[in-house]
Amino acid sequence: CSEHKSCSEKKHREKEKEKERLKHKEKQKEEKVDLIVPYHRVTKYNELNISLSIKVEEDTGYHHPIKHEKALKRERDEDDRYEHKPKKVKVDNEKKVKKRKQEEDDGGFEEREKPKKRTKEVKKDTTGGKKKAKNEPEEKWKWWEEEKCTDGSKWRFLEHKGPVFPPPYEPLPDRVRFHYDGKAMKLSPGAEEVATFYAKMLDHEYTTKDIFRKNFFKDWRKEMTSEEKSKITELKKCDFTEMHEYFKAQSEARKQMSKEEKQKIKEENERILQEYGYCVMDNHRERIGNFRIEPPGLFRGRGDHPKMGKLKRRIRPEDIIINCSKDSVHPKAPPGTRWKEVRHDNKVTWLVSWTEKIQGSIKYIMLNPSSRIKGEKDWQKYETARRLKKIVERIRAQYREDWRSKEMRIRQRAVALYFIDKLALRAGNEKDEGETADTVGCCSLRVEHIRLHPQMDGQDYVVELDFPGKDSIRYYNKVSVEKRVFKNLQLFLENKQAKDDLFDRLNTSILNKHLQELMDGLTAKVFRTYNASITLQQQLKELTSSDDNIPEKILSYNRANRAVAVLCNHQRAPPKTFEKSMHNLQTKIDEKKKQLSAAKKELKAAKADAKTLRDEKSKRVVETKKKAVQRISEQLMKLEVQATDREENKQIALGTSKLNYLDPRISVAWCKKLGVPIEKIYNKTQREKFAWAIDMTDEDFEF
DNA sequence: TATTTAACTTAGGAAGCCCTCA
DNA sequence: TGAGGGCTTCCTAAGTTAAATA
C-alpha cells in the first residue's frame, strides 16, 4: 500500500541519513556531559554507623515515579509493530512436544538439524579463527526478523568447545619465602597456593576483617600437611609480605613488557577467544559470555558476608556438566580427565555448569548479551513492562482499594505493592540466616528498617526507610505517603520487635502469585523495569528540545538516565582516585582562570594600542585577543561543568539502569528524532546488545 | 503446601586497555 | 613518549522467579 511504501521510504531515508552521520561521527570526540541531580546520599550499609545521621538534603522528586498520568496517553495503534509477538508458525500442542521429545531421545533430531545455508548465516569458522579485519563489519544476523520457536525449547542445535580452565598453580621461586613467627618456612605446594591467595589480597580491606581472616585461616589449615598444621597455629604470626611483594613486582613487570610481548599475549587471547569464545547455536555462530572457569581464590562476599575469606577450590573437569546437542561434536575434556556429565537439554540456555562449594549454588556458562537467546528475552522483558503500562492504573486503583481490606494479609500485600510501584523496591526474598549477608527487599523489610513521622520537614505522613539492599547497598529515603498507607504501617508495627518482619503475612511467592492473576507474566520486578523506562521517556520529553545542540541534548539524556539511577538506587563506591582527580581538575580550573585574566589584560592593552595607533594591524590584534578571551572563557566553563558533574556523579552508577532497565527503543527513538548519533548514547558493546532495538525502532516509538 | 533447587537477570568492583595531555 | 586517568570489559556475587520435590 502507498502508506507502507512511504513508510519504508522514510525508513530508507533515515537509514541513509544515519549512514552519513556515522561516517563523521567515528572521529568526533565524544563529549561527555552529565548532569547534576540531587540524590539521597547512600553508602554501603556496613560502613554506616555514622551515616544514619546523613539525611536527605532535598526531596529529589525522583523517589516516586514521576507523573504517571501523563504517560498514560492513548496507546498508539502502530505500537503493535514492536510487540514481541513473532509470527506464530507452529503452536505445538502437548502431544507434539512429547513426540518431538521422543524423536530427540531417539536421535531423530539429527536429520532435521543439519545446518541449512542461509544468506545471512555466519558460517562456523573452520580456519582456526582468522577473521576479517576488525573494521570490516560482518553481516549481522537479524534474529528479530525471524519467527520465534514457541514450543518451549531454547535451541535445536548447539555445539561448543567447552570451558577454558585457569592455568595450573605455579609454585613460587625458592627466594620468595613465607615467614612464620619471624622465621622463614617453605610451604607444601597445596598450602602455598592458598597462602598466595591471601598474599595477593594483603592491600585489600578484606584482610583486616575478622570474619575474613578467621574463615581463611580455617580453610587454609585444611590444606596444610600435619607438620605445617602443628606449626602454623595463629594467623597474626604469618608474614606474607615477601609473597605480596613478589606478585606486585610481577604485575609491574607485566606492565613494563615491550609492545611486541604485549601484542603476542593479545594474539594468544584472541586465538583462545576464537576457539572457545563462540558456539554454534541453530546455524549461527554466537559469542559466549563467560567461557572461562572461575579460578580458585578466596571468596569475596559483599557486605558483612559470613563466608568471606573461605577457600574457593579449583574446579576440575570432573565437576563440569556439559550441555550440547546430541548430534554435535562434543567438547573434549582435558587429557586424562573426564566430564562429570554430558547432557542434551534444549529446554535450558546454558552450555556448561558446575556447583560452587561455598554457597552450593550452580554456576553457568551462557551466551553473550548480543546473542539471539539473550536478546529475545530482553525484548520480551520490555514488552511485558509495556503491557503493564496499559493496566497499571487499574492495578493502582485496586491496591488502594485493598488498603481498606478487612484482611491483614491483603492490606500488607497492597502496601508492599505500593512501595514496589512507588519506590521501585526489589521483591525481597527470604534468605538463609547466617549463610548470607543480612540484606532485605520489600517483602523482607523488618521493623528496624522503617520509621514513621506523622510530620516531618513540613510534610505529612513521612516514612523513613533505611535498610541494606542488594549487595549491601544502603537504601535511605524519606517519602511522604498517603494517610491510609501511613495508618496501615502503624498497624503493621503494633506489638512488634525491631527484628520482626514488617509484612509478616506476606512473602514474594504470595505477592507474585497475586500479580500473576492481575496480568500474565507480571512479577514484582516488572514494576522496576516499567517505572525505570517510563521515567526515562518522560524525562527525555520534558528535558529535551529540538533546538538544543548535540552536547545539550546529551546532557539532557544523561539527566534522564541519572533520574532513573536515583530511582533504582544504583550506587557505586566513590572511585579510589576521586579526590585526586577532583584536585587535578581544580588545578586546571585555577590555571584556566589565570590564563583568562591574562588574556583579558592583553585584550585591554591591545584595545588601548588600537585607540592610539588607529591602524589596521592593531585592529586585527584586538580581534585576535577577543577571540582568545572567548575561547578561554568557553574552556573554563566546560571545565567547571565537568567538575560539578563529576562531583555529582561521585556515587551514582548510570550503567546498570542503561543496561538492564531502560527499554533501548526509547533511547533509539530519541536519538533518531533529535538527530543524535547513537554512538553518543551507547558504546560498541551496548550497540551490540541492543542491535535489535537499533534496527527496528522508528523515531515515533512510544514505550 | 512448604521448601529446595535450577535457571536466569541484575549488580558493583577491579583489571586492564586506551586516550589525552604535557 | 610516558604518566595519568577515564572507560570498557571481565568477573563473579547476589538477586528474582518458576519448577521440582518433600
Per residue in A483-502, pLDDT tens? 999 999 999 999 999 989 99
Residue A489 approaches strand C within 7 Å at CB: no
Residue A479: the pLDDT is: 95
Measuring from the CA of residue A323 to each C1', which nucleotide is nearest?
B7
Name the residue with higher pLDDT: A482 or A655: A482
Given a contact cutoff of 8 angstroms between Cβ atoms, the answer to whether A645 and A35 are in contact is yes
Share above pLDDT 90 across residues of chain A, in percent, rounded to a whole number:
45
Whether A77 has a pLDDT exceeding 60, the answer reads no
Q: Please report, rounded to whole angstroms, the spatial distance between the CA atom of protein residue A358 and the C1' atom of nucleotide C14.
A: 14
Whether A170 has a pLDDT exceeding 50, the answer reads yes
Nearest to A436, CA basis, from A512, A378, A370, A360: A360
List residues bridging with A466 in a β-sheet: A476
Q: Which residue is nearest to nucleotide B9 (CA to C1')?
A: A660
What span, in angstroms and rounded, lies between the C-alpha atoms of A451 and A478?
9
Which of strand B's nucleotides are less than 7 A from any protein C-beta? Answer: 3, 5-14, 16-17, 20, 22
| pLDDT (tens digit per residue) in A665-693 | 999 999 999 998 888 888 888 888 999 99
Mean pLDDT, residues A583-601 taken together: 82
What span, in angstroms and rounded, lies between the C-alpha atoms of A667 and A678?
8
Q: Which of A61-70, A212-221, A666-675 has the lowest mean pLDDT?
A: A61-70
Residue tagged 540456555 (cell numbers): A349
Q: Which CA distances in Å does A320 have to A279, A314, A332?
A: 17, 12, 12
Which of strand C's nucleotides are less than 7 A from any protein C-beta? Answer: 4-18
Given a contact cutoff of 8 angstroms between Cβ atoms, the answer to whether A71 and A389 are in contact is yes
Q: Please report, rounded to whole angstroms, the spatial distance between the CA atom of protein residue A473 and the C1' atom of nucleotide B16.
A: 26
Residue A645: the pLDDT is: 66
What is the side-by-side order of every strand in the sheet holding A183-185?
A: A183-185, A178-180, A238-239
Measuring from the CA of residue A441 to each C1', which nucleotide is nearest?
C15
A661 carries an active-site annotation? yes
Residue A685 approaches strand C within 7 Å at CB: yes
Render the burial of A492-517: b for 16+ CB within 10 Å, e for the rest.
beeeeeeeebbbeebbbebbbebbee
Whether A369 has a pLDDT exceeding 50, the answer reads yes
Residue A638 approaches strand B within 7 Å at CB: no
Q: Where does residue A562 fall: left (phi above 0), alpha (psi -120 to 50 degrees), or beta otherwise?
A: alpha
Given a contact cutoff of 8 angstroms between Cβ atoms, the answer to whether A696 and A70 are in contact is no
Measuring from the CA of residue A347 to each C1', which nucleotide is nearest?
B7
- Domain spanning A178-257: CATH 3.30.420.40: no
Domain residue ranges of chain A, discontinuous segments joined by + = 21-79+535-696, 178-257
- Domain spanning A21-79+535-696: CATH 3.90.1150.10: no
Query: What is A598-639 written as a DSSP string?
Result: HHHHHHHHHHHHHHHH--HHHHHHHHHHHHHHHHHHHHHHHH
Residue A472 approaches strand C within 7 Å at CB: yes
What span, in angstroms and rounded, lies between the C-alpha atoms of A657 and A642?
22
Q: Which residue is nearest to nucleotide C18 (CA to C1')?
A: A509
Residue A132: the pLDDT is: 34
Residue A44 approaches strand B within 7 Å at CB: yes
Q: What are phi and psi of A169, to 5 degrees?
A: -65, 135
| pLDDT (tens digit per residue) in A246-276 | 888 888 887 777 777 777 788 888 888 888 9
Residue A257 approaches strand B within 7 Å at CB: no
Measuring from the CA of residue A591 to each C1', which nucleotide is nearest?
B22
Residue tagged 538516565 (cell numbers): A561
Q: Please report, rounded to whole angstroms, the spatial distance between the CA atom of protein residue A51 and the C1' atom of nucleotide B13.
A: 22
Q: What are phi and psi of A625, to 5 degrees?
A: -65, -35
Q: Is residue A279 very low, low, confident or very high in pLDDT (cuts 50, 70, 90)?
A: very high
Whether A136 has a pLDDT exceeding 70, the answer reads no
Measuring from the CA of residue A471 to each C1', which nucleotide is nearest?
C14
